[in-house]
């Protein structure tokens, strides 16, 4: 319990020294664009926010889909003005072909190597609800990486307690600024992510919410529509602090800095926005 509050306090103190970083990362994943406000692109509301979580279940790499494990998060804002529509879009997917070790796994004390893939929306182009018969549609440019990380776990010889973790990364770029689109058919049950040069991903929609105000990007309680950053948001990050894909309870929804680990950057980012909407 003491260590939990110690980490929160550390984040609060870090805000002062990381003020610039925290501000820059307040919504680090959000890219904004404007599109003409024409009937072809208009949506049925004046201002809205869309949030979707899903599982990554299959990678269509050939005649038979390859089973994978992973998660996808999508965030979108739309505000319609007299002449243009301003949109903010964000999306990231992370998945692995290692079906014996999930993205969120136990904090093993043994050394191991882990390979995963990640796709991140670099620049959103267009997103809309109820578009061409789909419940939701988003397109833009994406970066895709294949990352292999070698974990070296150090423990106390007497107690067996983990004292330090070292991870060496090797990243291979699979696509840079590649056009891709996310399609969610009517019913919000499944989705397909298709990026040029990368085989399509499919999976299930676990949660979706549309509200007529700006969402709280730090909120992990998906059953709430509150827009205020609270201490419970920080508590959720603390529970996953130090985790990485394949080690610990890594959660894509807590990785605000999008660097594939939950650390002081993510905690300080949320702490900088505490009690604000």
Q: For residue range 59-113, what is the model confidence (pLDDT) as tens digits? A: 998 788 999 999 999 988 877 766 677 777 889 999 999 988 888 888 888 898 9
Distances (CA, A) of 228 to 87, 219, 225: 21, 8, 9
pLDDT in tens, 190-208: 999 999 999 999 999 998 8
Per-residue pLDDT band for 221 (boundaries 50, 70, 90) equals: low
Least Cα distance to 188 among 52, 28, 19 occurs for: 52
90 vs 172, higher pLDDT? 172
Per-residue pLDDT band for 130 (boundaries 50, 70, 90) equals: confident
In angstroms, the CA 156 to CA 270 distance is 32
pTM: 0.76
In the predicted structure, residue 267 carries a pLDDT above the cut 70: yes
């Amino acid at each position: 319990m003491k260590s939990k509050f110690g980490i929160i306090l550390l984040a609060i103190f870090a805000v002062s020294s990381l003020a610039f970083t925290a501000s820059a990362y307040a919504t680090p994943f959000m890219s904004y664009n404007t599109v003409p406000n024409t009937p072809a692109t208009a949506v049925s509301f004046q201002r809205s926010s869309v949030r979707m979580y899903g599982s990554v279940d299959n990678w269509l790499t050939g005649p038979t889909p390859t089973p994978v494990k992973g998660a996808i998060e999508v965030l979108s804002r739309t505000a319609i003005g007299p002449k243009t529509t301003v949109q903010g879009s964000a999306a990231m997917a992370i998945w692995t072909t290692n079906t014996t070790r999930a993205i969120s796994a136990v904090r093993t004390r043994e050394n191991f190597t882990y390979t995963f893939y990640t796709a991140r929306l670099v620049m959103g182009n267009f997103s809309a609800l109820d578009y061409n018969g789909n419940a939701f549609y988003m397109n833009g440019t994406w970066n895709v990486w294949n990352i292999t990380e070698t974990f070296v776990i150090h423990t106390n010889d007497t107690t067996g307690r983990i004292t330090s973790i070292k991870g060496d990364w090797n990243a291979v770029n699979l696509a840079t600024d590649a056009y891709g689109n996310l399609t969610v058919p009517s019913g919000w049950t499944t989705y397909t992510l298709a990026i040029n040069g990368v085989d399509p991903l499919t999976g299930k929609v676990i949660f979706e919410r549309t509200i007529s105000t700006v969402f709280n990007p730090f909120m992990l309680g998906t059953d709430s529509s509150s827009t205020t950053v609270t201490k419970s948001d920080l508590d959720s990050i603390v529970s996953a602090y130090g985790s990485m894909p394949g080690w610990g309870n890594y959660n894509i929804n807590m990785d605000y800095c999008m660097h594939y680990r939950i650390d002081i950057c993510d905690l300080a980012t949320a702490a900088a926005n505490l009690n604000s909407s």
